[in-house]
A and B are shown apart, each in its own frame.
Chain A
Amino acid sequence: MKSKIYKEFVILLLLFVGAWIAIALLRPEPDIPDMAIDPDTEVDIGDVLAEHYIQEFPLEDNDSLQAVIDSVAVRLISNQTDPDFDIDLHLIASDDINAFATMGGHIFVHQALVEFCESPEELAAVIAHEMGHVEHRHVMNRMISELGMTLLLSIGTGGDPAVLTEIARYGLSNTFSRNDEREADDFGLELLEESGIHPVNMASVFRRMKEENTNGLADFDILSTHPSFEERIRRALEYDIQEDFEEVPYTIGWH
């Protein structure tokens, strides 16, 4: 009798653990909404939104600064593997330390962010993160799931300007999910490594942003999208670099 009790206990325990693992691993992934709009259409929509953002945010009229961020980004862009989008960087004249990606490859970088970075490698880390949002189409996915495809497609085909304004504001005001941020971080870290930039630079810039944010000195939208940036800093620090990694510093004169 006792042996049967033990046997049934073990069976029950194994059933529980097995069911737990099975449900966790076999959970179906939700449909990916970005399959509904192809990259070319996203570029069209992104171009319209970018024009709107350019009208709303004054572009920094600083050719040398624009040349600096372009030269930082060109190394990242050239090390991408089969990108879906051409990256278009826009420098915004703003005192907010921020950068954001929109649809179709457009990335807006605030001037204050460039000045906040202590090295071109740190700026590259931020841009690489935003490129992660672009390549994974996070903005498009979020917009489709929350606003619907019809509304988005109307932008690309010249819709109501008032609707465009509201959608553009929505794109700026809402936040990415933790999974989106993690994907963008992972993409950015890999891209940095591929580009000969040490991934620790991402942790470095995030850490300083966190310190500034804690001191109330700045409101970092780039980090306020999700509060668990301690975890993101830790992940960047623990990133496993390949043995044959060779760091190639930028030769750009910085500050």
Chain B
Amino acid sequence: MMFGALAAGLPLPIINLLAAVIYYYVNRDKGRFVRFHTLQSLYSQIPTTLLNAGLIFWIIRAIFRPASMDVEFIWEDLTSGHFFIAYLCLVVLANLLYVIFSIVAAVRARKGRMYYFFFFGKLAYHQAFSSKSVSQAIIENKPPV
């Protein structure tokens, strides 16, 4: 799901987030273990999506500045800004970290072990294990009305 979501999100960063949201809602009733991992994936997807969106916005703004449509000057405009280059490096790093940790989490989860991301793991655990899931709710057998 992670690779599919990432690939879908490349042109438009929001798509991979939507994919993660859909995947969570489809799988959240398959037990706390699955719920936790899908939620963790979703939460960790959010900042990555925001960073990617910020990058695309920054590039589009540089392209559509009224001063120039010349590619050479656009690239120079971008690369002459140290903060843009630093942001670009961080975005690449964030996406790489997301992919790496998602693979590690997938391998561990396949073995039935929980794997916690920094911050997102605790957040997802708190969400997944503090509320009653549908499968663990008290089922009342009431006759049809």
Contacts of B90 in A (CB 8 A): 16, 19-20, 23
Q: Whole-angstrom distance between the alpha carbons of A1 and B119 in the complex?
A: 11
B126 within 8 A of A: yes
B80 with A228: CB separation less than 8 A: no
- For residue A35, give the distance in angstroms from its CB to the closest CB of chain B: 21
B119 with A9: CB separation less than 8 A: yes
B80 with A25: CB separation less than 8 A: no
Residue from B80, B87, B119 within 8 A of A178 (CB atoms): B80
A211 within 8 A of B: no
Interface bin, chain B: 20 to 34
A231 with B77: CB separation less than 8 A: no
Instruction: Classify the secondary structure of B's interface with A.
Output: helix
- For residue A182, give the distance in angstroms from its CB to the closest CB of chain B: 9
Q: Whole-angstrom distance between the alpha carbons of A27 and B126 in the complex?
A: 40
Q: Which residue of A lies closest to B118 (CB)?
A: A8
Residue from A5, A19, A22, A227 within 8 A of B67 (CB atoms): A227
Q: Please report the number of residue pairs spanning A and B whose Cβ atoms sit closer than 8 angstroms.
A: 55
Contacts of B123 in A (CB 8 A): 5
Most buried by A among B65, B87, B89, B119: B119
Contacts of B76 in A (CB 8 A): 177-178
Q: Whole-angstrom distance between the alpha carbons of A179 and B80 in the complex?
A: 7
A24 within 8 A of B: yes
Residue from A1, A22, A226, A230 within 8 A of B73 (CB atoms): A226
Contact with B along A144-162 (1 / 0, CB 8 A): 0000000000000000000
B140 within 8 A of A: no
A20 with B86: CB separation less than 8 A: yes
Contact with A along B77-103 (1 / 0, CB 8 A): 100101101110110000000000000
B87 with A228: CB separation less than 8 A: no
Interface bin, chain A: 20 to 34
Within 1-55 of A, Cβ neighbours of B (below 8 Å) are at 1-2, 4-5, 8-9, 11-12, 16, 19-25, 27
A27 with B85: CB separation less than 8 A: yes
Contacts of A228 in B (CB 8 A): 65, 67-68, 73, 77
A2 with B67: CB separation less than 8 A: no
Could you list some 28 contacts between A and B, CB below 8 A? A1-B122, A4-B122, A5-B119, A5-B122, A5-B123, A8-B119, A8-B122, A16-B90, A19-B86, A20-B90, A22-B86, A23-B85, A23-B86, A24-B83, A24-B86, A25-B82, A177-B76, A178-B73, A178-B76, A178-B77, A179-B80, A227-B68, A227-B73, A228-B65, A228-B67, A228-B68, A228-B77, A230-B67
Binding site for B on A (CB under 8 A): 1-2, 4-5, 8-9, 11-12, 16, 19-25, 27, 177-179, 226-228, 230-231
Of all A-B residue pairs in the complex, the 4 with the closest CB atoms, nearest first, are A23-B86, A24-B86, A8-B119, A227-B68
